[in-house]
Structure 1
């Protein structure tokens, strides 16, 4: 059984226990194009600017801070990723760029992304 975290713009955090199935699509993800490779840089909620500097901290804390600023949905398995320490981000950049910088050199990678969703494993 996997535990996933969906962090949404309005400060809502929802953890869902899944029994081998993917979460139901939301209105924004149902109309989104198929997930692109990590090298793609589509324009959307994940490309909005990150508002505040992010200190070096646990990944779950970083994800919450980054996603609260926009409607960028960050999909991850917190049982595996939550406690990983990631880098600080202090420059002005998009949520997508901030997440890439925070994860650089860690055991975590962006494995898929669309304009409004980023998947980290």
Structure 2
């Protein structure tokens, strides 16, 4: 994901240097810090298959993504924008080793 962000960025040279040297783990730390100050919870979610899982029935299949922007569940028929569907995924499941991946931004920051 980071590589795609860096490829799409159109910035001046000093800004590119800053962007390339900034670790994404630091983003997670900033979000957690600001959420704690605001009293908002931070939810860590396993990012695996989030783009393929239905936010309504939790069915996961590669065929649920007919295109990059569209999500269409093969079981319950929900059609939604892919990013919106992935951001409203209701389940929280730990990854191997019990660690979680940071998912989305906390509202109210």
Normalising by structure 2, what TM-score? 0.25
Q: Which of these two proteins has the greater Rg computed from alpha carbons?
A: 2
Which structure carries more relative contact order (alpha carbon 8 Å, separation 6+)? 1
- Between Structure 1 and Structure 2, the one with more strand by share is 1
Normalising by structure 1, what TM-score? 0.23
- Between Structure 1 and Structure 2, the one with more helix by share is 2
